[in-house]
Amino acid sequence: MGFDPVLKAEETNHIKNGEFIRDLKGPLADVKVEQELIIEADLLLYIFPIWWNSMPAIMKGYVNRIFSHGFFYNMDGSPDRRLIDMQAYIISTTGQPQESSDSNGLNDAIRRLSSEWMFMTITE
């Protein structure tokens, strides 16, 4: 799809005089397209391999740019209301047996990252 996963400086938040500031007042055009597709979706499904005990850099870059402040979260903890009760599933693959991923803690780490942080339950 040609999406650039590199977070631009103007897309980041910074602190000025004790307050969070974002110079960019809305998402860049490529981000806006992806966010609208998410809003229109009934279900989000992400499938990716685990590389070095995490998601690949291109997936992390996608998450950083798309699930951004003002859309997926705000500093007050409230998401975009259009995301309330949306379902998301992650399927991740590894090159090791399931038992190994269970015993070395990889499954718990990925579950915590995806279910308890990235795609936490968003409800009213």
Give me the CATH topology for the region 27-118: Rossmann fold (3.40.50)
The two three-digit tokens of residue 55, written as one number = 């998601």
Q: What is the pTM of this model?
A: 0.76
Give the start-to-end residue ranges of the domains of the chain: 27-118
Residue of 6, 8, 62, 70 lying closest to 34 (CA atoms) = 62
β-strand pairing of 14-16 with 19-21 = antiparallel
Amino acid 4: pLDDT:
93
Print pLDDT tens along the chain (124 aa).
788 999 988 888 888 888 877 888 889 999 999 999 999 998 888 898 888 777 899 998 998 899 887 787 766 666 667 777 778 888 888 777 767 667 777 777 777 766 666 665 554 4
Give 92's strand partners: 48
Residue 38: partners with Cβ closer than 8 Å, 6 or more residues away:
44, 66, 83, 86
Helices (H), 18-123: 29-40, 57-66, 98-103, 106-111
Amino acid 114: pLDDT:
65
The two three-digit tokens of residue 2, written as one number = 């040609």
CA gap 34, 42 in Å, rounded:
14
